[in-house]
Each structure stands twice: as C-alpha cells, then as structure tokens.
Amino acid sequence: MPRASGLPFQTWPPMDQALREASFRPSEDPFSESGRASHFTGKTRRALRSSYGTFLRFLSVKHPERLAGSPSTRIDRNIAMEYVEWRRPMCGAATIATGLDRLRLAISYICPGAEVSWLLPIAKRLAARAAPKPARLHLVTSDQLYAVGIELMDDAKPSGSDHKADAFRYRDGLIIALLAVAPLRRSTLAALRVGEHLRKSGDLWVLEIPAKDMKTRQSLDFLLSGPLSARIDRYLAEFRDAIPGATKHSGLWPSNKGRPMDGGAIYARVRQRTKDALGFPVNLHRFRHAAASLWSVRDPKNVRGAKDLFGHSSFRTTEKHYVMAQSRLAGRALALAIGATIDHEPTGRLARLKR
C-alpha cells in the first residue's frame, strides 16, 4: 500500500513555515545567532521536514481545525494515538516509530516551548514491538527479479484491447528488470529522464547518474546489455506514449496523472508486482541486497566490486548490509543432497522463483 505523502512545504500554514525557516536558518555572521536547528545536515533537515509534513497531512485530513491553532498545541496523546493508527495501513511499525520520533524533534525545534518529550518513550515502545522483516525478503537474487521483469514485459501486448494497462505492465516490468541490473535508490530512479540520464550509445543505452543526484556524491555509469537496451527501445517506441500525458515530459516512468511517477508510486508498484509474481513483496532497497547476494554466489572472488555498483566508498558497508546469501545456499544444497525436495519442486518459470 502506498505511503502517505507529506503536506508540501509551500502549503504549510504560514506560521509553521515561518517557525521552521527561523529554526533551521544558518547565519554567515559568527556574531549573529543562527536557528536552533541550523547544525543539522541536509539529510536530517529533509527527514524532519518530511515527518512534520506527514503530520500536517494527517491533520488536514482528520482535524483541519487544528491547523488554525498554534503548532505547539496541535498534538496530545489522543491525537498521537490517532496519528499512529492512521499511518498503520501505509507503513510498518518501525517506520511509524522513526517518524514519530522525528516529529518530536521537529516540534521541539520549531516550537521550543512545546512539551513533547512524552513522545519519545512511545516511539521507543513502537520500535521495540516492530516485527522483524521476514528473512525470505533477504533471499531473492537479481536474476530472479530480472526474470519477473522480463515476464511482465513479455505479457504486455502493444495493440491489445487495453493498451494503457499493457503499457503500465511493460513499464513496471522494465522498472524491475532495470533495478535488477542497476539497483538505484528510490529518488534516483524516480528522477531518470530520457536524453539526460538515459542516453543512447550506438545500439546500447547508457545510464549516466551525476554525482549531485547520488546519495554518496559519486557519479555512476551503467552500460546496459543488448537485450535490455532492445527492450528499452520497444518501450519508448510502443508503450511509453500510451500512458496519458507521457508526451508532455521526459520522465522515463510516466504516471497516469500526466507527470513522472514519484518515488512512492514506484515503490508501491514494484512491491505489488513482485508480490503477485513471487508471493511476497520486494521493496526497492531489497534490489541492492539481491545484487550483492547474487554477486557473492556467482563470483565470490570479485564480490568487492559490488561496492562500486552501489557507490559505496568502502566494501565494509556493502558487506555489512547486503551480502547474506551463503547460509541460505548451504541449507538448500543440503536439502537437495538428501532428496528432501526432489519430488516437491514446483514447475513453471515464476513457480521456480517462489522456491
């Protein structure tokens, strides 16, 4: 289910905008006082603004009358409880806990006199109760995800009775296949533009991601394979423009709203498509796990090269977070050796992926 987007900053109540700007404003003059939150990094500032914007979105939907009051008096225990329940269908308990703690920090900096320390133990309890993610989400590999994408594209018909639905199917399949070979982060994937980040070089397509668009501030270049490049050719020639409004922008992934898909929309579609194919959803970050896991299995001697694929400065980060396939493979090898699964193997391409 898609996540709720926060209220855009330009639509915040004027008082909230002014307080936020004053709190986060840096000062070039060492003798002038900066905002209380001016020491935060850009990433932290964006995270706090996002959490506060999500809370404002909740208020605009459930309690619009509270937006007229002081920001320091908008939240109490009942409102916090309702806010948590409002978010449950959209994200997991761990995400809710993190968002609640960030909301506490945002309010405390925007409204220094507000007493919101009581939110911290609530956020901690929510985090402690968050169910661990099923281990099977760590076990899918890039070749399996690539096959899911290919199957979706193969099922799309350029002149079918519902051309738009087929265009969405091909688009989603291409997203999944591309992520399998180039596991980009959500914001980078959503920002891709034809002719800017996706360029033709002979018969092949190249992804060129400048450093400014990368979290690690290191540029990445991907020369895509012949088969995948051919599928991009077909997508641009037969499917992309069948999506309403696609001809009005250069976004690689047009939405049904006349503009490029945002990160949340891509996240939701990939989860749903992989759930339909595999029996469980695979979120965008798991594509990075899948790539490192496949690399560690197929080419363990050169697995350190995965750090360059992800733009990491150190392999330690790659190894710590992404390489986790060996114990699973050892267990499967043992099961096959004793014949425990020989007579129960499912058949069919996608059935094989669900093992």
3-state secondary structure of 176: helix
CB 232 within 8 A of CB 174: yes
Segment 60-72, tens digit of pLDDT: 999 999 999 888 8
CB 274 within 8 A of CB 288: no
The CA-to-CA distance between both ends of the chain, in Å, stands at: 25
Q: Which regions in the chain score pLDDT beneath 50?
A: 1-3, 136-137, 296-308, 311-313, 315, 317-318, 320-349, 351-355
Segment 121-157, tens digit of pLDDT: 999 999 988 866 555 445 777 888 889 999 999 999 8
The neighbour count for residue 176, using CB atoms within 10 Å, is 25
Give span(s): CATH 1.10.443.10, the chain.
137-337
Q: Which two tokens stand for residue 322?
A: 């992404």
Of 49, 47, 44, 43, the C-alpha closest to 20 is 49
What CA–CA distance (Å, rounded) separates 192 from 190? 6
Segment 20-77, tens digit of pLDDT: 888 877 655 555 555 676 777 777 888 888 999 999 999 999 999 999 988 888 999 9
Residue-level length of the chain = 355
Q: What fold characterizes domain 137-337?
A: hpI Integrase; Chain A (1.10.443)
The neighbour count for residue 332, using CB atoms within 10 Å, is 13
Q: Which two tokens stand for residue 211?
A: 């450093």
Query: pTM score > 0.85 for this model?
Result: no
**Strand order across the beta sheet in which 204-209 lies:** 198-201, 204-209, 220-223
* The CA-based dihedral angle spanning residues 7, 286, 42, 66, taken in that order and rounded to the nearest 10 degrees: 20
237 beta partners: none
CA-based radius of gyration for the chain:
23
